[in-house]
Structure 1
């Protein structure tokens, strides 16, 4: 362990792929580094010891104001489909990679989001604002607390530098950490440009470093796709079960490792609305909560298309046709895999011994029709199972306009819970139904306070959301139903 960013066990990592994959460049310094907030659990995972954040040099590196000695920073190139339309070349428009760190048996890529322009910034300024940076820092760490695969956030630093969005805001940088930031879009880029040797190098790199058990497979690229499909089916099932809406599920925001990637206009659902759209730029609702599994499937088809030149190399049309049919069969399994994972997540939330698809569907429709607070309902249901008291049942029923509907559902549900095991089951349910999520109004309050120089609420939320299933009486205010004004909060891709 070390207190110095410079002294971490830096490796070549992604740089081994060669110049076709990235552009070396340095972050653009900001006029000042005003500190912010750090994640000690992430710091420990990459090899930093306690107190590392007290070294101003470390914070300057993570702001882009100081550079790692003899370590080339870089931005990567990728392409992708955005809102279902081929967008061509994209790339890291405001993310600059510091490199790859080894700690024990694990390796981590470290990148700065908001550290200045890159060759892939297009018309952007390469910066991120404090508002969106707080949201990304808190949500990536909240998702980790929920045990949902995600990129992590090591630090958030900020500056007095002005950044123009819908209004003038101030700049911030989030240090993001993940085993890899390789996206579906990286594969799409090289496939679309018919750079098949580079495409093969990328796939081989991913297999060697992240799916090493596939190296001896007879068809490693087909096996890679199969694993990526399964990982993403499991990921979106977890999102749906916890009520998380991403907002911008473009192919360039999809992780080859099945991680939650790129926190833009995300939201956890408050009042249940299956057609909920968290991104006000998404007028057609392509990325609505209900449509997320379908979009995952669509994006996986695009990845399969990008991998086809490796899975069926050469010009033999019969071989290509056979492999296309094989790919179709693999992709056809996604909806079934997703449904299996989703029903398992819901089984755990309800404390049942087996999946009860009809019961789950009936409940979800009840929650939707009555606009019941999703998180509050499931956490309150744990209390009903625990005590079966009139008071606990009343809390649940008061959430619904359709009192008869919820009463009938509760009768069917509670009949499946053995009374002699109720307390044990309730305790298990509390490990799958969070008491605390990053509600929009809490994030908004934290942002407004921080913009006025007070990061206290950011720190409190960060601490609370690391243990979202625990009671944490000191943070009980964060578990209350949101105020009416919370429904008016609107977020977009602008950050």
Structure 2
């Protein structure tokens, strides 16, 4: 343990004060020769941390899991989950929660080391992580934050100096992940399956106190908890769809109670618009395809509702009816969020009944002509559709006339619509070929300049600057589908 706390660590460990069955205290697994690859200075400062001290030998050893920071209490959290529809016992098999950092503003964030070694919950494997997947999570999670999408954040990536075995031997690494919390739907499933009703109540009360204090004294706070989680997930998944983000592994252990995006394994952003797009190498049935994500979120929320039944009402039948009533409203909430977002992407301020049909027709045309999702909306924003496959087609010409007429039926000016579209349609996303280019340079050549330039561009997605033009370009045509891997 460090004797000094010049770095600014200010830990509390409220989760570690919950029932012992919720977690396992864990010894750290030191690595051979930690080397700081990348550090998120702005995030560090917002957490109240000293950027310079984090880069010292002692600071890097904390980020590598070799040293416990002052006040830290390393634990591995227990949880279960439906993985591709199949229920199983899980838990942090390669991660350690160091503690909860209390910021100068009084906010609370989990500080977790991902790839820190085997734990009580490891299910085979070495509990380690490779440098490439950890850098991928750093890139994509920070891009999501810049896009205004609730997400876990990445504080640092440290190379361990050790090789790990996957298909070949790869350089090992540890990611420091920052989250509002790591309480998942799967956490509730674990306690509902293997704990007592009283332990379930303790977990629910903890989640409410941590994320939804405004409902703490409500008449039925557990129903309110269910409703609030539904609201946040409906808003979150709508935001995913609006930028073409595909999570890849929407298992119930990867859905947070806080409403943050978590676990950037085989994730990617869609180029060509197609609802059936799947990138994950393990999603052979397309369960988590882009077009399925809203429905899978509803399925996951139903599993969450099931865990709360003993708390919703003493009578099981009555509890089921309460839960079903809450869940039945999810899809309408999702659709409302998504349509509001689509209106903004098209510069529309007010509501008309025909808006959904207008949006649907645009997507149909994009699908038919295999248009790039992001660049289509970017082209509409600046009236530069010449470089898209939609340009000059009869379907798009007709649609464009309907859209222009729709914009004319609102009080706001064309300049206001343009400003709304500029602030809603990103110029840049973490395009897959750009991410791979950055990872290859960093992992294979030790060149971090490519990843740093990419991160800088992604940090200002709505800037629409000339410097971003090259990052808007599509990858070269390929006969092979793009595939991502979870890195475990």
TM-score when normalising by structure 1: 0.93
Runs of 5+ unmatched residues, structure 1: 314-318, 385-391
CA offsets per residue over residues 258-311 of structure 1, 9 Å max, x none?
A: 110110100110011110012121111100000001100000010000111111
Q: 1:486 to 1:349 in 2, by over 3 A?
A: farther
* Mean Cα deviation higher: 467-476 or 241-250: 467-476
CA shift for structure 1 position 22? 1.0
CA shift for structure 1 position 458? 1.2
Per the alignment, residue 470 of structure 1 pairs with 463
- Residue 152 of structure 2 contacts residue 260 of structure 2 at CA under 8 Å; is this kept in 1? yes
Per the alignment, residue 72 of structure 2 pairs with 71
- Residue 79 of structure 2 contacts residue 91 of structure 2 at CA under 8 Å; is this kept in 1? yes
CA shift for structure 1 position 416? 2.2
Runs of 5+ unmatched residues, structure 2: none
Per the alignment, residue 388 of structure 1 pairs with none
Does structure 1 residue 430 correspond to structure 2 residue 436? no
Per the alignment, residue 371 of structure 1 pairs with 370
Does structure 1 residue 351 correspond to structure 2 residue 384? no
Distance between the aligned counterparts of 2:326 and 2:49, measured in 1? 42
Per the alignment, residue 409 of structure 1 pairs with 399
Does structure 1 residue 233 correspond to structure 2 residue 234? yes
Per the alignment, residue 126 of structure 1 pairs with 127
1:457 alignment partner, one of 435, 447, 450? 450
Per the alignment, residue 257 of structure 1 pairs with 258
CA shift for structure 1 position 27? 2.7
CA shift for structure 1 position 49? 3.5
Distance between the aligned counterparts of 1:445 and 1:226, measured in 2? 42
Number of residue pairs matched by the alignment: 478
Q: 1:4 to 1:145 in 2, by over 3 A?
A: farther
Does structure 1 residue 177 correspond to structure 2 residue 174? no
CA shift for structure 1 position 199? 1.1
CA shift for structure 1 position 465? 1.3
SS in 1 for 2:157: strand
Distance between the aligned counterparts of 1:309 and 1:416, measured in 2? 49
Distance between the aligned counterparts of 1:351 and 1:437, measured in 2? 20
- Residue 8 of structure 2 contacts residue 50 of structure 2 at CA under 8 Å; is this kept in 1? no
Distance between the aligned counterparts of 2:173 and 2:41, measured in 1? 19
SS in 2 for 1:154: strand
- Residue 26 of structure 1 contacts residue 67 of structure 1 at CA under 8 Å; is this kept in 2? no
Per the alignment, residue 387 of structure 1 pairs with none
Q: CA RMSD in A?
A: 1.8
Does structure 1 residue 440 correspond to structure 2 residue 436? no
Distance between the aligned counterparts of 2:432 and 2:180, measured in 1? 28
Distance between the aligned counterparts of 2:138 and 2:467, measured in 1? 22
CA offsets per residue over residues 354-379 of structure 1, 9 Å max, x none?
A: 34100001111111222111011111
Q: 1:421 to 1:486 in 2, by over 3 A?
A: farther
CA shift for structure 1 position 382? 0.6
Per the alignment, residue 390 of structure 2 pairs with 400
Per the alignment, residue 299 of structure 1 pairs with 300
CA shift for structure 1 position 69? 4.0
- Residue 19 of structure 2 contacts residue 199 of structure 2 at CA under 8 Å; is this kept in 1? no
TM-score when normalising by structure 2: 0.94
